[in-house]
Chains A and B, each alone.
Chain A
């Protein structure tokens, strides 16, 4: 009997304590949620030093800023295009340390010390890069919006050595969408430069 009573008492005490404990954190939690919903985190910036088209840049960018938005909205380098902002179309392709990279999936904060080349940095002064020249001669574009990304990828495609056949070029250029469908000229231009 005693055991049973003790046991009941023990049960009541313990469960009471649990109820009390449960009540406190839930109030705190709700309070925390209230505060959180009221507070809006302020913008944060981060100074970053990087090289773009052989020029040193010291930028203080919003920590949320992508390389693409930095180029287009802050530095007026609008040759790099925004086609999806999701890494699905290739229009924003630039070179980072010589590799093709999607600038919409690259935060500026990831780039200290890196070397970026955009379409504006491809020509040697007024002398066009052979790939730019080939795109003109082969009419490798129509509206021209995907073109800077196509050219940056095309240069990388040649450097990577993926130009052994039409099929290989097509495969390795399939991350760069062209809604005008100017694929004939794009392939032809790459073949011309790869020779």
Chain B
């Protein structure tokens, strides 16, 4: 099924998403759901020890099970040129050279892959495989290990520590956050099919088809255009789909080996160890202020986990350099290798973690100063210039976010002294925090096609992971061309379409939107050229003066100098009229700094006997520049806040230090927020276009919805109870013992 449903399109309510019908009818095809003739099923066998070497793998019994076609492991695998030797493996930068090593780096590492005729057969056969190992000493204990790993400077020091070491007000504290796991609802899956000797087709769960294409073509030494990647519907990502993980490589290897299409969908437990996570972290903040509440300096130190086979640094202290005007700032960090899978970017990577510590410390300072935390922030926010580069912000409306949010939640009802408001056994408090994210933009391409039926098709390789990219493309094409929305189709998530970056880092729409608008201009110019052969008025027509309707084009205003498509097509030899454009950031990046921001406000109630925390209200006001689709944008931000509630109160992955296993191994052992854990999230936007970032004035939104959320909740818990809780998640035991 196409992203946009042809047959049912006329039934679609105007306010719905472009792909809405496909999603509510179950017709949209996610990676593992395409019908591919001759497909066989792959199921993983993973290591039962966290460190060591594989001595032998017993596959004989599994081979005798019904339906088994082949079993891949380190002694039975196809040639992968990119894994030919140690140097090539390092250069490939894919992390785990799956089946090209007998080393075990973490528990749950793939050691064999059973390929069988059916899923049940492959699953049963996988259960019959055993392995002998030479076990080695392992370490999964972040808390015990990190003190021995030295900190290193993270960025250039501003000013000196000496200058403020005797500041009147000092807050100094440590903060920890447990590991969190992305867990998109769709488990990572691939159907891989080699079509010919050096051509492969992948139906893949990914946030970026071109990135999968690049990695697979590199590893298997085939031209990039010979790798076709299709990801039309993607069941969430939150960062886990930004990398190409071992499951994709194994599916491609298995298909090469058995010469048939192979489907591999990870199980939920495998999602916890194989496709990344937000690393467990430790932070220390020392924040100083003078008697007027002006920050005199900060030291921000951070450490987080990585794997023993790959260095991942998510730059937790980056946000210290972004939000507030620190004349004196020292940031240091370190990564701590453990026998776990490699972590990766998860929604608001780095900033989300760093922001929790900084915004908690500022809240603590506000009580020391007996000053309203909003006023304290406004005094110190770098509102005019990016404190790091010194460049002026192109636009920055965090002050307005604060003002609007405070009004919406009735901040004036908050008591400055904690523990003042109770309702039976419940203690009630207000909290707030802010978050920021640099608004990036990268090169992206899109094309717009007019076909003979009078339908517009907007195309890009970019994926839509639920963010509303497809709907935004339709909206932008509608605004630029004038064509009614039900005549505009969208095709995306396919590497054969105009190339685009991965959907991630809040850059999707900011990057792609310009390309769609440029393609619309080019298309109108092309149409004007054809139209000029019929009506000379069109000869020097500017693209802005051309309007498309269901039946034809007009000049300057609707119906003026109208030319029907039927007449127009008589002048065209091609089967379609097509325009493709590529847009990229330019000079404006030299002149300006760009950011998105959001302010989170909440009211929580804390049960004094059980320690249960309930978020009663959550208000988020965000500045993402011009909002293209209000409903999906608000949905994205409210969803991010739901993620923030999980981060603050329940999401917690732990490793068993004795056996190296993950305790959160499924959705019963690892909790994220369910419907009843979240209130109705109240979202609003500043909705002012940024005149410099791109043609639409849209900045990113995906990250800022979560960044300040956890700190706002922790700060509200303090306001309710007088307990300053600095270790996430804030589970009831921590509230009671706090």
Residue numbers of A with Cβ under 8 A of B are 37-38, 40, 42-43, 62, 64-65, 69, 72-73, 76-86, 88-89, 91, 118-120, 122-123, 126-128, 132-133, 135-137, 139, 141-148, 151, 166-167, 169-171, 173-187
Rounded to whole Å, the gap between the CB of B560 and the closest CB of chain A is 36
Rounded to whole Å, the gap between the CB of B514 and the closest CB of chain A is 24
Considering the complex, give the chain B residue whose CB is closest to the CB of A78. B33
Selected from A126, A136, A166, the residue in CB contact (under 8 A) with B680 is A166
Contact A181 B641 (CB under 8 A): yes
Contact A81/B21 with A143-B234, A170-B675, A187-B675 known, Cβ cut-off 8 Å? no
Selected from A77, A82, A128, A175, the residue in CB contact (under 8 A) with B24 is A128
List of 7 A-B pairs having minimum Cβ-Cβ separation, nearest first: A79-B26, A181-B642, A145-B235, A143-B466, A142-B466, A181-B639, A144-B23
Q: Which residues of B contact A174 (CB under 8 A)?
A: 674-677
Contact A83 B20 (CB under 8 A): no
Contact B24 A183 (CB under 8 A): no
Rounded to whole Å, the gap between the CB of A108 and the closest CB of chain B is 10
Considering the complex, give the chain A residue whose CB is closest to the CB of B236. A143
Interface residues on B, range: 35 or more
Contact A73 B639 (CB under 8 A): no
Q: Which residues of B contact A151 (CB under 8 A)?
A: 24
Q: Which residues of B contact A178 (CB under 8 A)?
A: 185, 639, 675
Q: Which of B8-16, B160-168, B427-435, B590-598 contacts A (4 or more CB under 8 A)?
A: B8-16
Considering the complex, give the chain A residue whose CB is closest to the CB of B22. A144
Residue numbers of B with Cβ under 8 A of A are 7-8, 11-13, 15-17, 19-30, 32-33, 35, 41, 61, 64-67, 118-121, 123-124, 128, 182-187, 233-238, 265, 267-268, 465-468, 631-632, 635-636, 638-643, 666-668, 672-678, 680-681
Q: Which residues of A contact B631 (CB under 8 A)?
A: 139
Rounded to whole Å, the gap between the CB of B635 and the closest CB of chain A is 5
Considering the complex, give the chain B residue whose CB is closest to the CB of A185. B635
Listed A/B pairs (23) with beta-carbon separation below 8 Å: A40-B128, A62-B118, A64-B124, A69-B120, A72-B32, A81-B185, A81-B186, A86-B668, A88-B268, A135-B20, A136-B21, A142-B466, A143-B233, A145-B185, A170-B678, A174-B675, A179-B672, A181-B641, A181-B673, A181-B678, A182-B638, A186-B675, A187-B680
Contact B638 A184 (CB under 8 A): yes
Rounded to whole Å, the gap between the CB of B563 and the closest CB of chain A is 34
Q: Which residues of B contact A122 (CB under 8 A)?
A: 25
Contact A84 B268 (CB under 8 A): yes
Contact A132 B15 (CB under 8 A): no
Rounded to whole Å, the gap between the CB of B4 and the closest CB of chain A is 13
Q: Which residues of A contact B7 (CB under 8 A)?
A: 126
Q: Which residues of A contact B467 (CB under 8 A)?
A: 142
Selected from B13, B25, B674, the residue in CB contact (under 8 A) with A120 is B25
Contact A85/B28 with A142-B639, A179-B183 known, Cβ cut-off 8 Å? no
